[in-house]
Amino acid sequence: MRRRGGLAGLIAGLIALAGLAAAAPPTLTARLLALDRATVWKPAGAIPIQFETFHPQGMVRIGDEFFVTSVEIRRAPTFYPAPHGRYDRDAGEGVGHLFRISAQGALLSDLVLGEGDAYHAGGLDYDGRFLWVPVAEYRPDSRSIVYRVDPRTMTATEAFRVADHIGALARDGAGASLHGVSWGARRFYDWRIDAAGRPSGPAQVSPNRSGYIEYQDCHHLGDRRMLCSGLAGYRPPPPAPPFALGGWEMVDLRDHRPVWQSPILLWTPAGTVMTRNPFFVGARPTGVRAYFMPEDNRSTIYIYDAVTP
């Protein structure tokens, strides 16, 4: 009788565990895959930023705080009449910033990153311990410095350098890999990263076969996928005005093919597409919550919710 009772208890326990597994909420990836162009995004708040933000590039949210990279352009790059070697323009002048921002939009810290002509702080990611930030020259086919930043102390360590413009990074902490995209997201870079934060070998470089959007900011999702946000600009023949199409793209990091794409049909009151620059997204019990920061200088973090099945 005791053996039967024990077996019955074991079976009941397994059934209960199965029930819990079945009731587990969908992952962020699953919720994103349920979004499409018909998704209704509802405003959930707005955070006016209380300082000059310059030209924001990337954003992550840790707890109630935001970490935002930005480019302070002191002199914009000037195009050459004819190419100088591999460059179509000079480097301009500027300063790269990593801002730590409170939930109310106040500046808590400002970490200056980069050196010399490398001042374009790009899209960043967080692996649960460190922020990974690229700082590049503000021109294509240039060079970059990759930093590993402790968000608790706002101290940066140079991890390595790249002979190309890296505009955004996504960090797979569990898989010990780091993934980057070039200017205009035309090339993917993949590195294996050791415990010290340095590449354990040369990067694998692959072309981006998708031209739907140019990625501005990317974040690792798990299961060897990353989510990138961005836009593509279009100039139809006059008198039609130019316009930008904003969207998200989920990329499979094993073959760099898009798993899912969707336009994000949201604009600021002034008509700026929401995916112009930084974004961050997280799961909610009934869907996803997205944070956007599309404006320069006097920025606002716009918060939107979407309900998913």
What digits encode the pLDDT tens for the residues 207-229?
Answer: 999 998 999 999 999 889 999 99
Tokens 């190419």, residue located: 83
Kindly tell me the burial class for residue 296, based on how many C-beta atoms sit within 10 Å of its own C-beta (0-12, 13-18, 19 or more).
middle
- The DSSP code for 139 is S
Cα separation, 276 vs 267, in Å, equals 10
Is residue 137 a contact partner of residue 73, using CB atoms and an 8 Å limit?
no
CA distances from 38 to 15, 32, 110, 237, 288 (A): 38, 13, 39, 29, 15
Considering the chain, what percentage of its residues have pLDDT values greater than 70? Answer: 92
- The DSSP code for 203 is P
Cα angle at 45 between 33 and 35, to 5 degrees?
10
Q: Go through the chain and tell me how many residues it has.
A: 309
Of the candidate ranges 16-25, 145-154, 295-304, the one whose mean pLDDT is the lowest = 16-25
Strands 187-192, 204-207: parallel, antiparallel or unpaired by DSSP? antiparallel
Q: What is the rounded (10 degree) CA torsion for 138, 144, 148, 154?
A: -30
Confidence of residue 24 (pLDDT cuts 50, 70, 90): low
State pTM to two decimals.
0.91
Residue whose C-alpha is closest to residue 218's, from 281, 300, 288? 281
Spell out the domains of the chain, with CATH numbers in brackets.
26-307 (2.120.10)
pLDDT of res. 26 = 83
pLDDT of res. 144 = 98
